Structure 1
Amino acid sequence: MAETYRIIQSPTEGFYKEKGSKFLAYAYAVEQVEEVKPLVEALKKQYYDARHHCFAHIINEGNQQHVRANDDGEPNHSAGDPILGQIRSFDLVNTLVVVVRYFGGTKLGVSGLIHAYKTAAEDALSKAKILTVEIKTDFRMVYPYDKTQDVMRITNEFGVEIKGQDFTESCLLKGRIEPELFSAYKDKMALLDLKPYVGV
């Protein structure tokens, strides 16, 4: 049976209010760490007058998992960790949650903050449509133009999901394949003197 992981289908929003402080939560599906900064920066720009923009993410890239929790000036572990805890409790990966806080004039204390950030993140994630995705192997392969027809025929034969192609001096194929088929795919490509290698 194929291994799977869970992601959210599209962005969602959540909200929580406590003693005048407002917590606006935004959940995003992300595939690469590079996507995080622009999304956080866009919210900082949109809510430039907010006190904090805290976030957490779990992102699987190739064989690495990137986990981060950011308190953005709130007391240590009072914001990023509760947000991260919700991503984990929904059993999600490739997910970023940002919670924007408007301070309402009354301090909530660390336990109050933990509850608020957790609840806002939970509200956003509970509205998300969750998809179960099969774990596949990402690979890339460079090949000469004159082998395009053969490469495409074999690639289609193995049901490879094409993630991207580049045609410069030579051709670059980025693909995704069932892990158990990769070895046979490599063997077929070796007959053409080509070598796909794992990586995004």
Structure 2
Amino acid sequence: MSRVFTVREPAEAEYEIKRSRFIAVIGPTADSTELEAFLTGLARRHPQATHLTYAWRIETPQGLRERAFDAGEPSGTAGRPILAHLQGRHLVNVCLAVIRYFGGIKLGAGGLARAYGHAAKLVVEQARIVPHVIYQPVTAEIDYSRFQHLDRQLAPLGARILDADYGARVKVTLEVPEDNLGELERLLASH
């Protein structure tokens, strides 16, 4: 599995060429609800913008989904150059939008593609990029005496307890980074 990355918080960059203003914004969007909220927020912040173009990539249980949107610009001149930067940096669970305020001078198809691509590049360079961690759920039953020390043993694995049900033994529901699943299973087997 190749390493993938994401962003923790939104970042913004601005670029101007031939009086057209390009404002690029990248933000975390883990699902369609967050994606819609992100784009709606940008549309509200920039109601006078000529175009609000974007691309997104989201991990789903069915696999990676991605989309590019030109927002009325000539086909392939906005969304695709933006998407290329997300793909090139292996970014997932993000949306990158570029808002354009037209300055009165046409840039041509090549100029538009370069301008949107450059704005996307600038904001990706500004963003705080971090590894994207996929968590796996794990359920186990352990003795009470072992449960008391479990938190300390989970921390180095990046695992955390989501729920505990106290019966004859403790039934715990955990989540662990996918890369540490085997190590967690060995730890739990020793309990």
| TM-score normalised per structure 1 | 0.72
AA of the residue aligned to 1:68: R
Q: Look up the match of 1:176.
A: 176
| CA root-mean-square deviation | 3.5
- Bigger CA drift: 95-104 or 27-36? 27-36
Secondary structure of the corresponding residue to residue 111 of structure 1: helix
Question: Which sections of structure 2, spanning at least 5 residues, go unmatched?
Answer: 166-170
34 and 161 in structure 1: CA distance in 2 versus 1, 3 angstrom threshold: farther
SS, match of residue 73 in structure 2: coil
Q: CA deviation at 1:154?
A: 9.7
For residue 100 of structure 1, give the secondary structure of its aligned residue in structure 2: strand
The whole-number CA distance in structure 1 between the counterparts of 2:183 and 2:84 is 35
**The residue matched to 1:69 in structure 2 has which SS?**
strand
- Deviation at residue 129 of structure 1 after TM alignment: 2.3
Letter in 1 for 2:40: E
Alignment of 1:77-116 (within 5 A): 77-116=76-115
CA offsets 1:42-67 (integer angstroms, 9 cap, x no match): 11011001111111111223451111
CA distance in 2, matches of 1:22, 1:11: 19
Taking a change above 3 Å as real, the CA distance of residues 138 and 43 of structure 1, as seen in their structure-2 partners, is same
Identical residues among aligned pairs (%): 25
Determine if contact 2:3/2:90 at 8 Å carries over to the other structure.
no
Offset, 1:174: 6.8
Paired position in structure 1 for 2:159: 161
Q: Partner of 1:138 in structure 2?
A: 136
Counterpart Cα distance in 2 of 1:137 and 1:124: 27
Q: Which deviates further from its counterpart, 156-165 or 66-75?
A: 156-165
Structure 1 portions without partners, runs of 5+: 189-200
Please report how far the alpha carbon of residue 110 of structure 1 lies from its aligned counterpart in structure 2 after TM superposition: 1.1
Which residue does 1:54 correspond to in 2? 53
Work out the number of aligned pairs and report it: 180
Give the residue type in structure 2 aligned to 1:29: P
CA–CA distance in structure 2, aligned partners of residues 127 and 57 of structure 1: 17
Instruction: Give the aligned partner of residue 21 of structure 2.
Output: 22
> Which moved further from structure 2: 16-25 or 124-133?
124-133
